[in-house]
Amino acid sequence: MTAQEDTSHERLKNHFAQRVTHQARQILDIWQRLQTQEWSPSRLAEFSEANLRLLRFAQRFDQPEHTELAQATHAVLQQVADNRGRLNSPLISDLNRLMQRLSRTSLRHGDPLAQVALPPLRKPIYILVQDLERAKRLSTQLEFFELSAVVFDSPTRFRMAMADRHPAAIVIEVDFAGPGQGLALAAQAQAGLEQKLPLLFFSQHETDTPTRLAAVRAGGQAFLTGTLEVSSLLEKLEVLTCVAHYEPYKVLIIDDSRAQALHTERLLNTAGIITRTLTDPIQTMAELADFQPDLIILDMYMPTCTGTELAKVIRHNDRYVSVPIIYLSAEDDMDKQLDAMSEGGDDFLTKPIKPHHLITTVRNRAVRARHLKARMIRDSLTGLYNHTHILQLLEDCSFHARRENRPLSFAMLDLDHFKRVNDSYGHPMGDRVIKSLALYLKQRLRKTDFIGRYGGEEFAIVMPDTDQESAYSVLDQIRERFCEIHYPAHPTDLWCSFSVGVVQLHGDSDSLKMASQADEALYLAKKNGRNQVQRFNQQG
């Protein structure tokens, strides 16, 4: 085969790979919707049909990993069918693990699992900004984040492109092609679309309420003012276009009656909620640490202890202060119910309860708990995990990696000469660089990796199922590409680099020791000239 034929074959293979990845995304979209609905036979059938299409495409276009995942998913769905359509926690957990693997097949660049390294967005972003040079600079910057963009200089060209292909998102200035014309053009583009396109408006000047109201009516989902720069734009685009990594809710049921616990479990499983049952309340804290539930359902009266006593024990641990506790009991005395809720409970449901009432209450509480937890564990500037939580995740992942004999790597990352950036360009520019790196890491790493802002300009990354050499390779590629991003500034444009120290879980290491070892490797990277990745030497 000649070099030209080889290139042609590779291009054709990538084209077919995109077809497979597109079908995989459709399955993930259905999976995402299933987390907010009951898993009726029709919805399970839709999920199964989408998976069979993926299997056919993957086999036809020679995509072995997608073939394996589709076959495994089909086997689980066949078990559901054999179980007369009834779901249980093991089956939901199996599906969730498969969907996690599917979600990272094209979202981790350089990872051995990723047979096809495709960017997160296949379709381009359409940019309509009055200042054509600014629009072109934005397009170039977006390419560093593996997002393609098309710049338009007239409404006519935009309409022609829309007739040919819909974009991943539209970024449009409210006064594009004339005062208020961008608003009208965007409204026309959205008219008649069954599924509205992600639409972001931009204005150089602060706008009044009527303009923002018009933007909302035109279908705008975000609005930026002032200088349109890539980090702010990326933040919005990530929210508007991201295929999120959804996990089913997890509920721990604590009830000394196995029959009652089994009944509750079956009801929640029909809604795709993962459950675990505990009939001995004395085992609660160990079970909480292992299962990490979104919500706890607690019986009021048990031989070993009362529900209110157990709720107090749970609340004594800071880690579980925000986990909702729902009492489920035959107790119908309102005063006793209120007393129970004052002792750490969030809700009280009386037996017998209608299935829909139970499912809706559990799901609503779990949704709010996840939102609240996200606010508690996230860094406000970057949206990454904060210092405390990234170390907690490292501890959890260390425990699971050791138990399952799986590799685990941990990296510490620090921006080089960051004080100079703040001193020379000001703290707003420093914040832009930090947010830009946070977004870049999220783009380049798997959804199953955990990224945290360790403090200031320092970041931490927990990489499950990754040995030190693979972690080194991925992080070194990210480092090289990040150096190419430039930030328009005065008196000169700015480029930044970072240094990394990486370590693999080894022997009897714990999370604190891994953090210390990664820090040592980072110090070595700084000492040896910065802008490099250093492995921790276990023998040293």
DSSP secondary structure letters along 173-214: ETTTTSTTHHHHHHHHHHTT-SSPPPEEEEESS---HHHHHH
Secondary structure letter of residue 478 according to DSSP? H
- How many other CB atoms sit within 10 Å of the CB of residue 375? 10
The mean pLDDT value for 276-300 works out to 92
pLDDT value at residue 154: 94
Least confident of 261-270, 272-281, 344-353, 519-528: 344-353
Whether 156 shows a pLDDT value over 90: the answer reads yes
Secondary structure letter of residue 491 according to DSSP? S
pLDDT value at residue 120: 41
pLDDT value at residue 110: 40
CA dist 59 and 306 (Å) reads 56
Question: Which of 29-43, 187-201, 401-415, 485-499 has the highest average model confidence (pLDDT)?
Answer: 401-415
CA dist 91 and 436 (Å) reads 39
Pairwise pLDDT comparison (13 vs 529), residue with the higher score: 529
Pairwise pLDDT comparison (115 vs 324), residue with the higher score: 324
Whether 348 shows a pLDDT value over 80: the answer reads yes
The mean pLDDT value for 513-525 works out to 95
Secondary structure letter of residue 50 according to DSSP? H
pLDDT in tens, 215-256: 999 889 889 888 777 767 877 777 676 544 567 899 999 999
What are the two backbone dihedrals, phi and then psi, of residue 502, each rounded to the nearest 5 degrees?
-130, 145
**Amino acid letter at 378?**
R
What are the two backbone dihedrals, phi and then psi, of residue 409, each rounded to the nearest 5 degrees?
-120, 155
pLDDT value at residue 105: 66
Judged on CB neighbours under 10 Å (0-12, 13-18, 19+), 100 is middle
pLDDT in tens, 68-93: 999 999 999 999 888 877 888 888 88
pLDDT in tens, 352-409: 888 889 999 999 999 888 888 877 888 888 889 999 999 999 998 998 899 889 999 9
Mean pLDDT score across all residues of the chain: 85
CB 234 within 8 A of CB 228: no
**Amino acid letter at 7?**
T
Determine which one of 235, 457, 484, 520 is catalytic: 457
Alpha-carbon dihedral angle through residues 225, 229, 231, 237, given to the nearest 10 degrees:
60
Whether 2 shows a pLDDT value over 60: the answer reads no
- Which tokens belong to 420? 């100079």
pLDDT value at residue 128: 95
Pairwise pLDDT comparison (140 vs 158), residue with the higher score: 158
HSE-CB for 254 with a 13 A CA cutoff:
32
pLDDT value at residue 76: 92
pLDDT value at residue 114: 32
CA dist 50 and 252 (Å) reads 31
pLDDT value at residue 122: 57
Query: 200 has which bridge partners?
Result: 171, 222
Residue 202 CB partners (closer than 8 Å, separation 6+) = 129, 171, 172, 173, 174, 223, 224, 225, 228
Strands 450-455 and 347-350: unpaired
The mean pLDDT value for 92-114 works out to 65
pLDDT value at residue 17: 67
The mean pLDDT value for 57-70 works out to 88
pLDDT value at residue 111: 37
Confidence of residue 8 (pLDDT cuts 50, 70, 90): low
pLDDT in tens, 419-471: 999 998 899 889 889 988 998 898 788 878 999 999 999 999 999 999 999 99
Percent of the chain with pLDDT over 90: 42
Alpha-carbon dihedral angle through residues 524, 529, 531, 535, given to the nearest 10 degrees:
-30
Q: State whether residue 316 is helix, strand or coil.
A: coil
**Amino acid letter at 54?**
L
Least confident of 61-65, 175-179, 325-329: 61-65
pLDDT value at residue 118: 32
Reply yes or no on whether 65 is catalytic: no
Query: 92 has which bridge partners?
Result: none
CA dist 469 and 14 (Å) reads 27
Pairwise pLDDT comparison (141 vs 191), residue with the higher score: 191
Q: How far is CA 402 from CA 90, 125, 451, in A?
A: 22, 43, 21
Place of tokens 């539930």: 293
CA 49 vs. chain centroid, Å, equals 25
- Which tokens belong to 99? 């969907």
- Which tokens belong to 384? 């990454």
CA dist 200 and 203 (Å) reads 10
Whether 307 shows a pLDDT value over 70: the answer reads yes
**Amino acid letter at 159?**
R
Alpha-carbon dihedral angle through residues 381, 382, 385, 387, given to the nearest 10 degrees:
-50
pLDDT in tens, 484-512: 887 777 777 888 999 999 999 987 788 88
CA dist 126 and 163 (Å) reads 13
The angle subtended at Cα 216 by Cα 211 and Cα 220, nearest 5°, is 105
Query: 502 has which bridge partners?
Result: 411, 535
Q: How far is CA 184 from CA 128, 181, 194, 215, in A?
A: 13, 5, 19, 9
Q: What is the CA radius of gyration of the chain?
A: 26
CB 497 within 8 A of CB 486: no
The mean pLDDT value for 89-102 works out to 86
CA dist 443 and 430 (Å) reads 20
